[in-house]
Structure 1
Amino acid sequence: MAGCIGDDEEPGEEPDEEHEEPEDPGEPADGEDDTDEEANGVLVEGGDSHSFDGSGPEVTPEIELRQGVLTVEFTHDGERNFRARMVNIEGEPWEDIQLLNVFRGTDGSSMMAVDGGLYRVDINADGDWTIDIDQPEILTEDVEEAPFETSGSGWAWRGPFRAEGVSEVNATHDGERNFIAWTHDAGGNQSLLINEIGEYEGTNIFRPDEGAFWINIEADGNWSIEIE
């Protein structure tokens, strides 16, 4: 059992070099009326934090999540893919969430929206790993309005942001593997913003949903994203 701090299948193969469609992060979480929260300056209510570490394939103890935003910080020193799946103990298989599918030796962060409930994390790894799960409180004052530019390296997330109407996305990436960016909102809606492989510099169109959103980036190099 994975070690909790505080509160069989073979490891995955390396990703194909060929361009392929990324996995959908899962079914949207059910939206809820957050009018009162926004009026009080709270966009998304926070939840508990959970930290786990281990080596090789393991399954964590049950954790309770509330509906909202989930962030993950992770490390892995293995030679193969590091995969983690959130299994909804009280739900259906389609309610499980692909949390991570990361190339060997990658550290980083990720985010998504989740339904409330009891979950276990099913981890597939061939080395030592750590996973820190958090459900931060998000305030309306945290939201950055478009136009904005953000940058980083490797797996990361940014936000919350807000943009209105049809927006232009300018992005760059200097890595060798997949460069994928999803937008997520607190209600569980997601949209594929970028899906490229290798070095990239280009522009496309983004039509955001109403309200705040986050950008989740999967990359192996330096990247930048500008929305205007």
Structure 2
Amino acid sequence: MFRRLLATLTVAATVLATGGVTAPAQAAETVTVAAGKTYRGTGDQVLRVRAGKAMGIISFTHDGESNFIVTAVNSRGKQVDLLANEIGPYKGTALYNASYGSRGFAALEIKADGAWTATFKPLSAARCWCAGTIAGEGAQVLKLSPTRGLRTVRAAHSGEGNFIVQGYTSTTSYGDLLFNEIGRYKGKAVLPAGTRLVAVKADGRWTLTRR
């Protein structure tokens, strides 16, 4: 279960699109996101974007001391996907348009007490899981050659919070839940045939080994 904590400080903020002009959030127009585009802000914000329905990647940074929570919101104002949920300084990457009901979200609701960035990237920018074992820290998106036949993945996590790993067999499918644990963990699971993307959510160091 994701940790949901109330932020202790609300800061009035503006959003700055890279190369753009600062404007109050309530006056901001909806913009179509493009790969490589970075948005910057401080504190709580609603970032109106037109993300389309294709799957993609967002990289986040946050330099505050309290909660950093990013939620995708659809055109009806309903929260449809939790993209980041951490406390304090943060650097991580998440898939968007990857959960049921989240395709084509209309905004990102950001809760923060410090400065943050959100950078949209194509799936090709995912980190390559090229060898049998890959190690990392925090939230990351991995790409690999589609698996064939019966394959397994062994995982280890040294953090104290959520450790969630999902595999995707196509860019239009919803994920297979491989691991969903809290705290330190070691275990093994089947890696579905055709898996080509893996999304990791973690607050500590981790390793994944496929065979």
TM-score, normalised by the number of residues in structure 2: 0.72
Q: What stretches of structure 1 of length at least 5 have no aligned partner?
A: 8-46
Partner of 2:114: 127
Matched position secondary structure for 2:135: strand
Return closer, same or farther for 1:175/1:118 CA change in 2, 3 Å cut-off. closer
Return closer, same or farther for 1:144/1:58 CA change in 2, 3 Å cut-off. closer
Looking at structure 2, the residues matched to 218 and 190 of structure 1 have their Cα atoms a distance apart, in angstroms, of 13
Listed as ranges, the matches of 1:40-189 within 5 Å are 48-60=35-47, 62-89=48-75, 93=78, 96-113=80-97, 117=104, 119-136=106-123, 148-184=132-168, 185-189=170-174
Q: CA deviation at 1:153?
A: 1.1
Partner of 2:184: 199
The letter of the residue matching 1:214 is L
Q: CA deviation at 1:220?
A: 1.9
Q: CA deviation at 1:137?
A: 5.1
1:219 to 202, 205, 211: 202
Looking at structure 2, the residues matched to 48 and 174 of structure 1 have their Cα atoms a distance apart, in angstroms, of 32
Return closer, same or farther for 1:137/1:68 CA change in 2, 3 Å cut-off. farther
The letter of the residue matching 2:114 is G
Matched position secondary structure for 1:68: coil
Matched position secondary structure for 1:162: coil
**Is residue 144–residue 162 contact of structure 1 (8 Å, CA) maintained in 2?**
no
The letter of the residue matching 1:213 is R
Q: Which stretch shifts more, 155-164 or 116-125?
A: 116-125
Question: Size of the alignment, in residue pairs?
Answer: 181
**Is residue 167–residue 191 contact of structure 2 (8 Å, CA) maintained in 1?**
no
**Is residue 48–residue 65 contact of structure 1 (8 Å, CA) maintained in 2?**
no
Q: CA deviation at 1:181?
A: 0.9
1:3 to 13, 16, 21: 16
Looking at structure 2, the residues matched to 92 and 165 of structure 1 have their Cα atoms a distance apart, in angstroms, of 42
Percent identical pairs in the alignment equals 26
The letter of the residue matching 1:175 is G
Q: What stretches of structure 2 of length at least 5 have no aligned partner?
A: 1-13, 21-33
Q: What's the CA shift string for 1:170-194, capped at 9, x where partnerless?
A: 1111222222111233003111111
